[in-house]
Amino acid sequence: MAVAAAPKPDNSKFSFNIWPPSQRIRDAVIVRLSKTLSSSDSILSSPNLYQPVPADEASSAARVIEDQAFSAADVSSVADGDVDGKIETLSVYAKEISKRALEMLKSRAAQVTTEELSSAN
């Protein structure tokens, strides 16, 4: 008794777009970044690195960081159909988010240190 082969799926109607990310994905990035910035359990807030950012400040900073990173990556965006270029654009987006988040934390830490020194005098 022969078993009939399963029909092959029609993949011609399926499409996966890596860049630009959907608004749902961008919102999820903002939420995750906000939690990372404000969490005392984050690797960024370990004792010798940075202090957690208050939740309201982290939320607004995460929105700005994501928007700036998206704009920076979108400038480097490539023509439709170039999958390798879109992957590179997504990589630029991720690196920009990381870079800008660290810059914000460093700036905030420097500001706190300056305020502490001023109040000690």
Number of C-beta neighbours around residue 13 at 10 A: 6
Span 17-52, pLDDT tens digits: 889 999 999 999 999 999 999 998 887 776 667 889
Across the chain, how many H-helices and E-strands are there? 3, 0
Q: Does 89 or 14 have the greater pLDDT score?
A: 89
Contact 68, 96 (CB under 8 A): yes
Structure confidence at residue 82 (pLDDT): 82
Span 72-118, pLDDT tens digits: 998 877 666 688 888 999 999 999 999 999 999 999 888 866 665 56
Structure confidence at residue 21 (pLDDT): 94
